[in-house]
Amino acid sequence: MKKIITVTSPLLPNLDEFQGSLKDIWEKKWITNNGSYHQKFEEALAEYLKVPYVSLFTNGTLPLITALQALRITGEVITTPYSFVATTHALWWNGIKPVFVDIDPNNGCIDSNKIEAAITPKTTAIMPVHVYGTPCNTNDIQDIADKYGLKVIYDAAHAFGVEVKGKSILNAGDLSTLSFHATKVFNTVEGGAIIMHDEKTKQRIDYLKNFGFASEVEVVAPGINSKIDEIRCAYGLLNLKQIDAAIEARHQVYIKYHNALKEVNGINIWDSSPGVKHNYSYFPIFVDAEKYGMTRDELYFKMRNDNIYGRRYFYPLISTFSTYRGLPSASKENLPIATKMADEVICLPMHHALSDDDIQRVIRCIKKNHK
């Protein structure tokens, strides 16, 4: 039987070094609540990501929920249906009504030309997603936000390390959130962060993630517990040392896929955007059934039969799930591009440890099924 090729594989720290960190933590007996590894990891991340402030979290969903709390977002928020469900769930958990806007076929992100038509007197914010780590049209989105007095929170779960013209994409908007889940480019097993521009906002968010405690006796807000522990901060510090090499390995995979697949009739892929430092977090292909001679699902299951496990990110669209499908903005008519992309997409196996044999097997499978 052929080896299974999975869509991703976690970047793991060197085990000996991690054991050294564990020994140190065991000696210090400080295992959570802003210990020395937490502080070091926050500083190291801010430096690596070229952002002013980072607040660490225990996963990538609580930063979304907390960012909305921190900015006191209410009413309606404009967002994209083409994402992981957590984006919209974070709104629901805050009692906010999601308003879905269609996406741009060129980058998969919310179509900034369609945002204004979705604004109502209840709109308070826009929550776009840099899907696959491809930057949204952040300038256009900011212009709209400024014109209508809206906040912008980016779900940047895919955008670790992504830069535009040498500047971090994580500096766009009011706040950006990251996920360090095992399946992401950079992982701490589970983990996440909020990126902010100023110290006051960092302080408020640090309070919110620790029950609202501002001191031993003072609770300033109905906060939550979303702290990350020392063990995962130590793990993250070690992974940070090898993230550049891991992203470069992904870049090499990207080049091979891109060269081999760009000529395949019916397989649409994106070129990298000029001026953007990508993180190669995903490699989406879009199957045009007519031209390719097979539907996306047919190819997806052919790949599975060959032990190649792609993933249909993002299918089904969030707007089709039972919680959201009754919303007026969730209709197919409102979301034709997102609906089409969700029906055509397969994310190919993409990670730092793919061998050339693995890559060639994926390419052969896609080429041989072509009519």
Ligand X SMILES: *Cc1c(COP(=O)(O)O)cnc(C)c1O
Q: Under the rule (CB under 6 A), what is the footprint of ligand X?
A: 59-61, 83-84, 86-87, 129, 155, 157-158, 179, 181, 192
Instruction: Give the torsion sign (CA, 285, 288, 291, 296).
Output: positive
Kindly state the smallest distance separating residue 154's Cβ from ligand X, in Å. 10
Kindly state the smallest distance separating residue 61's Cβ from ligand X, in Å. 4
Kindly state the smallest distance separating residue 367's Cβ from ligand X, in Å. 29
The nearer residue to ligand X, 60 or 310, going by C-beta atoms, is 60
Alpha carbon distances (Å) from 184 to 30, 308, 364: 28, 19, 26
Kindly state the smallest distance separating residue 43's Cβ from ligand X, in Å. 21
The nearer residue to ligand X, 127 or 238, going by C-beta atoms, is 127
The nearer residue to ligand X, 278 or 361, going by C-beta atoms, is 278
The nearer residue to ligand X, 181 or 311, going by C-beta atoms, is 181
Kindly state the smallest distance separating residue 219's Cβ from ligand X, in Å. 25
Residue nearest to ligand X (CB): 60
Place of tokens 């890559």: 359
DSSP run (H or E) holding 16: helix 15-28
The nearer residue to ligand X, 13 or 60, going by C-beta atoms, is 60
DSSP codes, 168-214: EGGGSSSEEEEE--TTSSS--SS-EEEEESSHHHHHHHHHHTBTTEE
Contacts of 25 (CB under 8 A, 6+ apart): 31, 35, 37, 230, 231, 234
The nearer residue to ligand X, 228 or 261, going by C-beta atoms, is 228
Reference 90, options 197, 151, 18, 177; nearest CA is 177
Q: What torsion do the CA atoms of 53, 84, 62, 278 make, to the nearest 10 degrees? A: -20
Q: For residue 277, what are its two tokens?
A: 């430092």
Kindly state the smallest distance separating residue 158's Cβ from ligand X, in Å. 6
